[in-house]
Amino acid sequence: MSEDVINQVQKAIACSRKWAETGWPVTFGHRNVELSSLKQAESQPKNFIFRLEAINYWQQAKLTGNDAADSGQKALDALNNGDLSAAENALYFCQFIEKPFADYSKTWLPLYEAFKEKRAES
């Protein structure tokens, strides 16, 4: 597989590991308070009623991102070993793990679909 695909997987791994840092727009509570990262959620006053909800959301994003990145590393290892089937399986799992956040993270599903398409063309 091309160096381009390997670079894309490497970038996705790095991006996925930083989901809770870089974040995306998310609102909490009936007032729709936007807290777009774990750092923003943790910086809220302890008496902010939706603080724990926001922290939990971003901690889940962090854990999910790390799990997806771990599977992405397996895909990268498989690509480097020329095992395209194992790489596709690992990328499939990445996009599966990402599903709860896919509308915002947009990291693994586009990569998986592009990989499948490129592989079908080969």
Residue 29: which domain range?
3-121
> What domain count does the chain have?
1
pLDDT at 121 (0 to 100): 85
> Has residue 34 got a pLDDT over 90?
yes
The residue-averaged pLDDT of 112-120 equals 93
- Tell me if residue 92 falls in helix, strand or coil: helix
9, 13, 40, 45, 75 from 52: Cα distances, Å:
33, 27, 12, 10, 34
**Would you state the structure tokens that stand for residue 82, as one six-digit string?**
């020329």
109 in Cβ contact with 102 (< 8 Å): yes
Does the pLDDT value for residue 40 go beyond 90? yes
pLDDT higher than 80, residue 24: yes
Query: pLDDT at residue 122 above 90?
Result: no
* pLDDT tens string 55-105: 999 999 999 999 999 999 999 999 999 999 999 999 999 999 999 999 999
Residue-level pLDDT at 33? 95
CA 46 – CA 80 distance, rounded (Å): 47
**pLDDT number for residue 1:** 57
The span from the CA of 83 to the CA of 42, in Å, is 42
**Which pTM was predicted?**
0.92
**What percent of the chain is modeled with pLDDT above 90?**
90
Question: What pLDDT is attached to residue 2?
Answer: 80
